[in-house]
Chains A and B, each alone.
Chain A
Amino acid sequence: MNFLQPIGHVVLDFLATAGRLTLFALAGVVQCFRPPFYGRMIVRQMVEIGYFSLPVVGLTAIFTGMVLALQSYTGFARFSAEAAIANVVVVAVTRELGPVLAGLMVAGRVGAAMAAEIGTMRVTEQIDALTTLSTNPMKYLVAPRLIAGVAMMPILVLIADIIGVLGGFLVASYKLGFNPANYLQSTWDFMEAEDVVSGLVKAAVFGFIVTLMGCYHGYTSRGGAQGVGAATTNAVVTASILILCFDYILTEMFFAGK
């Protein structure tokens, strides 16, 4: 039964990693609620995650909205295209594409940077230095990033929603020649508070996932520059996969039985 051995290894490894990650996440969350709070660090991370991600998330959103309008036009042209396109754009952007694409872009930008920064701190003993200066690294490094991620992602996604819908509007009214006022009216009619809110909840969860993965892989990295490189890659890959998994789970929770 030797062939079972490698399989068992993989399973055990996976379970061990999942356990470590869960403990790490719990420790990080607990530190978010325990004083002292490092306001300076939280603000710095909020600027890093929220403000500096705006260009990349905005560009993603506007092209997504534009291409949605264009694609659905070819499908719906024969029917009452105007209302249908507005509907597709607003639902797809607010429910799905806004949070998921913003999450993936932020994973690539912020998750990687966090893993690299914290990983470098780990291998150059800066994290050890923190503990000798009576500073809990979980509280000083991890908690502010988690807080900033959960707080800023919904704001980013709200902006992405607006820009995405705007992109659809631009294509619909300037390229496809619809009446702008009618298109906006249909957009408004089809916009559901529930869609937007569910998208924002997803965004908060994705913000947690991205920052957690960045922190975890950076924090546990070892072995010099090579280890930091691996941590960066792992942070982006695992965050992206988890975003897609949780996107499904959350969608199921929100819209099951409808």
Chain B
Amino acid sequence: MSTPAPAAAGAKIRIRGLKKAFGRKVVLDGIDLDVGVGESLVVIGGSGTGKSVLIKCVLGILQPDAGSIQVDGEEAAGIDAAGRERINRKFGMLFQGSALFDSLPVWENVAFGLLAQKKVTRVRGREVAEAKLAQVGLGPEVGQLSPSELSGGMQKRVALARAIAADPEIIFFDEPTTGLDPIMADVINDLIVKITREVGATALSITHDMASARKIAHRIAMLHGGRIVWSGPPAAVDASGNPFVDQFVHGRAEGPIKMAVRA
């Protein structure tokens, strides 16, 4: 992103010492991470390092074992159901697997948050949905289809439209460009840039796509071994001096990150 990150007016999300294990398998082992107001942070890291788990802990879908997660200075880890609902109102989330509601047509999926909170009528909801679908490059005729009638890439874009429909303050994108063709991927990159720059939303994205990361990030953080091992601006990612980042950015099989494969 060409514009610098907005001056740090306190962290929008502040994570300290976050730990999460599944049984004996430790996934997150003391994450410290800040996302500034209006900042676009991209988390990179190998498959299975816990990037999705990290976001799910912030969203309250998974309960962290230890550590603190503050949203606008309010502690969100272990908050009660009413508080969780209030905090989640600030969030928009694009799931890695889209997670569209297959009992509802596409437009109701997109307008779901607005309709559920009774912010809009159904007629108005449909208009908003069509406008959001247009932003992700889908025509209004897609609105009345069912999610199962769409291709994987189209589902991803519908899920993206749903994540931004209620104009959230903080948006989580779990692999927004995976499964899209290079042109559409760039359209989505532009859209994310536009949302963070023009609307001023804070974004925490996960991606394996370095081109996308360079384009949408104010700052990139690398997750490895349950910790954030490096973070810095996208321009510094090629000369980070960090062996993990080097190996990841250049996509080399040889290096400190050992993939669990046997040749």
Q: A128-B56, A128-B61, A128-B95 are in contact. Are A133 and B100 (CB under 8 A)?
A: no
Interface residues of B in 104-127 (CB under 8 A from A): 112-113, 116-118
Residues in chain A near residue B97, CB distance under 8 A: 124-125
B173 interfacial contact with A, CB 8 Å: no
Task: Please indicate the chain B residues that have their CB under 8 angstroms from the CB of A120 in the complex.
Answer: 102
User: What's the nearest-Cβ distance from chain B to residue A49, in Å?
Assistant: 16
Known A128-B61, A129-B93: A135·B116 in contact at CB below 8 Å: yes
Asked if B99 and A128 sit within 8 Å, CB to CB, the answer is yes
Task: Tell me the number of A-to-B contacts counted with CB atoms below 8 Å.
Answer: 52
- Residue contact A131 to B61, C-beta cutoff 8 Å: yes
- Binary contact track A72-115/B, C-beta < 8 Å → 1, others 0: 00000000000000000000000000000000000000000000
From 194 to 237 in chain B, residues with beta carbon under 8 angstroms from any chain A beta carbon are none
- Known contacts being A126-B100, A128-B61, is A133 close to B95, with CB within 8 Å? no
- The yes or no answer to B7 lying at the interface (CB within 8 A) is no
Specify which chain B residues have a CB less than 8 angstroms from the CB of A125 in the assembled complex: 95, 97, 99
Quick one: closest A residue to B93, CB to CB? A132
CA–CA, A135 and B108, complex, Å: 14
CB contacts (< 8 Å) of B162 on chain A: these are: 133
A134 adjacent to B93 (CB under 8 Å) = no
* Closest A residue, CB atoms, query B55: A132
Contacts of A136 in B (CB 8 A): 81, 85
User: Could you tell me the distance between the alpha carbons of A134 and B92 in the complex, rounded to whole angstroms?
Assistant: 10
User: Does B49 count as interface, using CB distance less than 8 angstroms?
Assistant: no
A134 interface neighbour in B61, B85, B101, B103, Cβ under 8 Å: B85
Q: Say yes or no for B88: interface residue by CB 8 A criterion.
A: yes
Contacts of A124 in B (CB 8 A): 97, 99
The answer to whether residues A133 and B99 also contact, given A36-B118, A128-B56, A128-B61 and a CB cut-off of 8 A, is no
CB distance B99 to A131 under 8 Å?
no
Interface residues on B, range: 20 to 34
Chain B residues within an 8 Å CB radius of A128: 56, 59, 61, 95, 99
A115: min CB distance to chain B, Å:
15
Q: A124-B99, A126-B100 are in contact. Are A133 and B112 (CB under 8 A)?
A: yes
- Fill in one digit per residue for A115-129: 1 if any B CB lies within 8 Å of its CB, else 0: 001001100111011
Closest B residue, CB atoms, query A128: B61
Interface check B16, CB cutoff 8 A? no
**What residues of chain B lie closer than 8 Å to A131, measured between beta carbons?**
59-61, 84, 88
A170, B104: Cα distance in complex, Å: 45
Residue of B nearest to A41 (CB): B103
- Taking a contact as CB atoms under 8 Å apart, the answer to whether B118 and A134 are in contact is no
Question: How far apart are the CA atoms of A132 and B85 in the complex, in Å?
Answer: 8
Please report which residues of chain A, range 16-34, place their CB below 8 angstroms from some CB of chain B when the two chains form the complex: none
CA distance A133 to B119 in the complex (A): 13
Nearest residue (CB) in A for B122 is: A40
**Inter-chain contact A132/B101, CB cutoff 8 Å:** no
Closest-CB distance, B126 to chain A (whole angstroms): 15
Contact assessment for B89 and A117 in the assembled complex, using a CB-CB cutoff below 8 Å: no
Q: Which residues of A contact B112 (CB under 8 A)?
A: 133, 135
Query: Nearest Cβ distance between residue A44 and chain B, in whole angstroms?
Result: 9
27 residue pairs A–B, Cβ–Cβ below 8 Å:
A36-B118, A117-B103, A121-B101, A125-B95, A125-B97, A125-B99, A126-B99, A126-B100, A128-B59, A128-B61, A131-B59, A131-B60, A131-B61, A131-B84, A131-B88, A132-B59, A132-B61, A132-B88, A132-B92, A132-B93, A133-B113, A133-B116, A134-B85, A134-B89, A135-B116, A136-B85, A140-B116
Q: Given contact pairs A117-B103, A132-B93, A140-B116, enumerate 4 new A-B contacts (beta carbons under 8 Å).
A: A133-B113, A133-B162, A134-B117, A135-B112
